[in-house]
């Protein structure tokens, strides 16, 4: 099979002079496949079928002149990159400039040297073929990069999920807290996007990164002692103070990972969610007592889905609550614990929340 460079090329001649057809056939017929037309209009109608590698075009023709013909050629997106060489007896600078401005790559005066024509045709065809090969190479390279990036992203997701799952197993969560909070998180993101709410904040980040980063919200719990993390009763004040450190522990762990990579967007989001998802709208949360919109939006979303899932889940220290009771608590926390807009969002999509929570065992 011939490779791209050695493949026999097709040349179209558009010229109303039969003698020129004979000259071109004698000059180029052995090296190239040729197609001849005496009419620009007829030639343009056949170009998609012929798929030429180069077009030789006369200027003066009866139906369409060369200038009108090349306009039609270049208007066809399939032909726009095919090189066009004007062959004309018009030895006129103005004509030549017009031809080149319309997209021709060369302008050869008649009568011409057959050797000169052959060499120019060879040069232009080789340049075109090399451009195509380079474009194909770049496309293949981009596809390889896309595939490699996809693999890396899948690996990143798998590692993040494994880390989050370790926390979940250690805390004896049941029913997949991490996956459910991701689903709740996505429901809120979709609603906000559909209703143009908080768009300035959301347009700056990739929703997929947000969802993946949300898995690491409790990563700091790996450092909390079992006696506190697994205590089957309400924590004493000093124990709760230790529990609260999981936010800063998680933040510091992810921040250290950030120092090892230049692609920091994902980890930057994860640090915000880990550190601030226990802040409250009224400023009474922890660890920094941030208030209102000073709390990053992603952390405010995490706060509401985290609390909701905790309410409807069974834990070693409590029984599960039904959806209606959990929604009542969220509404009661509107403007104190939670962002009012996000509470209203959850109320509007609460049936979807309920459907996800039904899979919680």
pLDDT digits (tens, 9 = 90+) for 345-356: 999 999 999 999
Find the mean pLDDT for residues 30-51: 93
Report the interhelical angle of 265-276 vs 207-214 (nearest 10°): 50
pLDDT at 165: 72
User: For residue 327, is pLDDT > 70?
Assistant: yes
Q: Which domains does the chain have, with CATH numbers?
A: 10-139 (3.40.50.2300), 171-357 (1.10.3210.10)
Q: Which of 111-120, 235-244, 259-268 has the weakest average pLDDT? A: 259-268
pLDDT at 174: 47
pLDDT at 12: 95
Position with higher pLDDT, 151 vs 219: 219
pLDDT at 2: 42
10: part of which helix (H) or strand (E)?
Answer: strand 10-14
The distance in angstroms from the start CA to the end CA of the chain is 62
Task: Round to whole Å and give the CA distance between 289 and 160.
Answer: 28
Q: Is the pTM of this model over 0.85?
A: no
pLDDT at 1: 38
Under 8 Å between Cβ of 152 and 296: no
Position with higher pLDDT, 361 vs 65: 65
pLDDT at 173: 54
pLDDT at 6: 58
User: For residue 157, is pLDDT > 70?
Assistant: no
pLDDT at 5: 53
User: For residue 172, is pLDDT > 70?
Assistant: no
Measure Cα distances from 218 to 10, 157, 183, 341 in Å.
65, 16, 16, 24
Find the mean pLDDT for residues 236-241: 94
Position with higher pLDDT, 116 vs 2: 116
Task: Round to whole Å and give the CA distance between 71 and 59.
Answer: 12
User: For residue 56, is pLDDT > 70?
Assistant: yes
Task: Round to whole Å and give the CA distance between 249 and 232.
Answer: 23
Under 8 Å between Cβ of 305 and 178: no
162-200 core/surface letters (b: 16 or more CB in 10 A; e: else): ebbbebbeebebebbbbebbbbbbbbbbebbeeeeebee
User: For residue 149, is pLDDT > 90?
Assistant: no
- Report the mean per-residue pLDDT for the chain: 88
Count how many Cα atoms sit within 13 Å of the Cα of residue 42 in the half-sphere of its side chain. Answer: 13
Find the mean pLDDT for residues 303-321: 88
User: For residue 308, is pLDDT > 50?
Assistant: yes
User: For residue 235, is pLDDT > 60?
Assistant: yes
User: For residue 116, is pLDDT > 50?
Assistant: yes
Dihedral, CA of residue 348, residue 349, residue 351 and residue 355, to nearest 10? -170
User: For residue 242, is pLDDT > 90?
Assistant: yes
């Amino acid at each position: 099979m011939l490779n791209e460079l050695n493949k026999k090329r097709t040349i179209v001649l558009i010229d109303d002079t039969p003698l020129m057809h004979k000259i071109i056939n004698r000059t180029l017929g052995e090296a190239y496949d040729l197609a001849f037309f005496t009419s620009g209009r007829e030639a343009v109608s056949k170009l998609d079928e012929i798929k030429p590698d180069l077009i030789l075009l006369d200027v003066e023709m009866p139906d369409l002149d060369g200038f009108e013909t090349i306009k039609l050629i270049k208007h066809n997106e399939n032909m726009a990159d095919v090189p066009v060489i004007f062959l004309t007896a018009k030895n006129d600078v103005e004509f030549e400039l017009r031809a080149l401005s319309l997209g021709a790559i060369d302008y050869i005066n008649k009568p011409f040297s057959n050797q000169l024509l052959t060499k120019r045709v060879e040069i232009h065809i080789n340049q075109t073929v090399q451009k195509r090969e380079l474009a194909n190479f770049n496309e293949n390279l981009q596809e390889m990069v896309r595939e490699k990036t996809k693999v890396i992203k899948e690996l990143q997701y798998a590692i993040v999920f494994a880390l989050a799952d370790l926390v979940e197993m250690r805390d004896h969560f049941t029913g997949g807290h991490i996956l459910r909070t991701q689903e709740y998180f996505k429901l809120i993101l979709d609603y906000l996007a559909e209703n143009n709410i908080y768009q300035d904040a959301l347009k700056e980040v990739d929703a997929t990164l947000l969802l993946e980063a949300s898995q690491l919200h409790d990563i700091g719990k790996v450092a909390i002692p079992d006696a506190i993390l697994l205590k089957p009763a309400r924590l004493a004040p000093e124990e709760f103070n230790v529990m609260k450190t999981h936010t800063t522990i998680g933040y510091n762990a992810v921040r250290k990972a950030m120092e090892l990579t230049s692609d920091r967007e994902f980890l930057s989001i994860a640090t915000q969610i880990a550190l601030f998802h226990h802040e409250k709208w009224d400023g009474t949360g922890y660890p920094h007592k941030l208030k209102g919109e000073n709390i990053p939006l992603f952390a405010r979303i995490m706060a509401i889905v985290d609390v909701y899932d905790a309410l409807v889940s069974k834990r070693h220290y409590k029984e599960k609550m039904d959806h209606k009771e959990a929604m009542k608590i969220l509404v009661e926390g509107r403007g104190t614990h939670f962002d009012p807009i996000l509470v209203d969002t959850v109320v509007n999509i609460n049936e979807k929340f309920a459907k996800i929570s039904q899979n919680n065992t």
